[in-house]
Amino acid sequence: MKIGDILINRGDKKSFQINEISGVAFCGKNEGKTLLITAGVHGGEYVGIETCMRLTGELEPERMYGNVVICPVLNKDGFLHGVKQICTVDGKNLNREFPGDKDGTFTQKIAYDVEKYLYTLADFIVDLHGGDMNEKLIPLIFFPYDAGEKMREYVGDIAGRMNVYFRVGSYADNGLYSYAAKKNIPAMLYERGGHGIWSESDVIAEKEDLYKLMEILGIIREGYDISVNKSQKEIIKAEYVGADSDGFWYPYFTVGDNVKEGELLGIVKNMDGIVVQMVRAKFDGIILYYTLSLGVRKNDTLMAYGREI
């Protein structure tokens, strides 16, 4: 296997660095598919980052049928500076910069290199996220709903075998996973954890799902249970609510709560204590994630809720 000009021989494990991207590649002793696992697109989403670190110490290429490439922290600047969502070098959100630009800003160049050097390797991509430092979230997977029926059914079926509460059909097109799907690379975005912490139980659960994913792809053959998760629900309609202005955010519901159409989900007050935004449910649904921060800026995501099929 080659990543750029870096050669990894069969049965070997090798760390690599290409510009700002670093990771660990496992080249299986036997032929098979290549799985790309990315995390740390947002530096404060820690469960995926720690899960990747654990996997880099556990995988055994001599027992693998195919390859696994792991990039634990794509946004190292955001991770080391402890900021939510952005890279401090240029103030950009990496997950909003695909396709990238080789002549662009710091973050845009990272997005370009992900596409140039990592997309080209992958038979499947899973991008690990979670609620950021200011978010609470229920474990879920976003999968491409607008990249053709074949892609939707294939990735949706895989997502349906993971140990999360919901799989959410997404129409996004400028994120790491969603742009990959537009390029006809099967991909999904896995969300677990949040509010600036990680737990051992979350890391164990996420790692278990990644081993299941490798089993599904035939990369490992360890007998993991890859049956359909019958308790998981599919969301085909979701609403993402943004702040109309800077202010104070007061949510009235938490993740997993059921809400009714017209119900007041939360309010935003300005610096004078006057209510400037009332968030009401547009349809019956369930809260998927919301912002914990008291202070919000204009266009910050306040809450997301969805409706099951």
pLDDT tens digits for 245-296?
A: 999 999 999 999 999 999 999 999 999 999 999 999 999 999 999 999 999 9
pTM: 0.96
CATH fold of 237-307 reads: OB fold (Dihydrolipoamide Acetyltransferase, E2P) (2.40.50)
Tell me: pLDDT of 145 over 80.
yes
Confidence label for 140 from pLDDT (cuts 50, 70 and 90): very high
Residues 6+ apart with CB under 8 A from 99: 111, 112, 115, 179
pLDDT of 309 > 80? The answer is: no
Say if CB 108 and CB 157 are below 8 A apart: no
Mean pLDDT of the chain: 97
Q: How far apart are CA 244 and CA 187, in angstroms?
A: 32
Strands 301-308 and 124-129: unpaired
φ/ψ bin of 56: left (φ > 0), alpha (ψ from -120 to 50), beta (otherwise):
alpha
pLDDT of residue 266: 98
Cβ atoms within 10 A of the Cβ of 42, count? 27
**Residue ranges per structural domain of the chain:** 2-233, 237-307
Q: Compute the average pLDDT of residues 101-106.
A: 98
Is the per-residue pLDDT at 34 higher than 90?
yes
What's the CATH superfamily of 2-233? Zn peptidases (3.40.630.10)
Q: Tens digits of per-residue pLDDT, 67-97?
A: 999 999 999 999 999 998 999 999 999 999 9
